[in-house]
Structure 1
Amino acid sequence: MGSIVRMAGLAGVAAALAGCSSIPNHRGYIMDETLVASVQPGLDNQQSVRGTLGQPTMTSLFGDQVWYYVSSQTEQAPFNQPRIEEHTVLAVHFDPAGNVVSTERSGMELVERISPESDETPTLGRERGFLEDLFGNIGTVGTALPGTGGAGGGG
């Protein structure tokens, strides 16, 4: 009887610890090192890169033609926000004719972790109180607008 209680207790502790473990999740492009290494400057073009690596995560809109393949590995503990553990960006640069000029890879060194200070966004201007919001427009209705020469609108 005592061993059954001990086994049930151990099973309960194991279940509680399993519930506290982090959940891994992959987001974005799945990097295949063999395929990435096969993209060669001077040999490949946009069509061959799309055939090898697939559709890019995003492309540049201005300046030189660049395709970006973005991959992130996150972990999330129960009741917490996901946390980025690994992050890789593969940038494939093309010339105006569509041929691969270079490839470059960046990682976590470019990830900036930000922590918002509060749930309010600071804005320009002065802050008004409740009574100013409630009675602030009294006396302004029907007054002349600058440059209109009369009351109200233009026209």
Structure 2
Amino acid sequence: MPIADPKSFARPARLIVAGVALALTASGCAQVKGRQGYFVDPVLTDAIAPGVDNRESVEKTLGRPTFVGQFSDNEYYYVSRETRQLAFARPRPVAQQVLRVRFDPAGNVVAVDKTGLDLVSKISPEGDKTPTLGRQRSFFEDIFGNIGAVGAPGTTGGGSPGQ
């Protein structure tokens, strides 16, 4: 039985390794698109008019809102956001639209406001500690700080229930 030449196996092995490396590199640089929230249809959102529509017609045209106002139910919010993400990086917003529909107490549309990506802010925390107001205490002051602060029973500190 003839023995195969080791050089004949080297070329296909190199091609396989190069193909796997290329596939891993290409998949690592892939850009992932994401869409969150309400799907914006400009024809439907432009159809909502103050003084013409009411709460029921808005829900029939646009559907249920993404969320209702926190302090009153006279505001509907429709939120849409489009993001892009490279490989394992954090997604970053590319486009955003917030449609706010305000109603009067009778349920009629008073105003329709649109905002975009201009109101998105990037928050960058400083360091690994949150600055707080007040006294700076050491570890032992945190543990033993209340000793003696509460009155003992029988003293004027109000420790016994009979006082």
Q: Same fold (TM over 0.5)?
A: yes
Q: Which residue of 2 aligns with 1:58?
A: 67
Which piece of structure 1 moves more, 53-62 or 5-14?
A: 5-14
Does residue 105 in structure 1 map to residue 114 in structure 2?
yes
Does residue 70 in structure 1 map to residue 76 in structure 2?
no
Given the two structures, how large is their TM-score scaled by the length of structure 2?
Answer: 0.75
CA RMSD, aligned part only?
2.8
Unaligned runs of 5+ in 2: 1-7
Q: Which residue of 2 aligns with 1:29?
A: 38
Does residue 151 in structure 1 map to residue 157 in structure 2?
yes
Query: In 2, Cα distance between the equivalents of 1:43 and 1:58?
Result: 22
Does residue 9 in structure 1 map to residue 15 in structure 2?
no
Query: In 2, Cα distance between the equivalents of 1:151 and 1:102?
Result: 60
Query: In 2, Cα distance between the equivalents of 1:121 and 1:60?
Result: 30
Q: Deviations over 1:103-152 (max 9, x none)?
A: 221101111111111232222222222233344344445369xxxx8133
Q: Which residue of 2 aligns with 1:130?
A: 139
Which piece of structure 1 moves more, 67-76 or 11-20?
A: 11-20
- Preserved contact between residue 42 and residue 101 of structure 1 (Cα < 8 Å): yes
The structure with more radius of gyration: 2
Structure 1 residue runs of 4+, over 6 Å off? none
Deviation at 1:10, TM superposition (A): 4.6
Paired residues in the alignment total 151
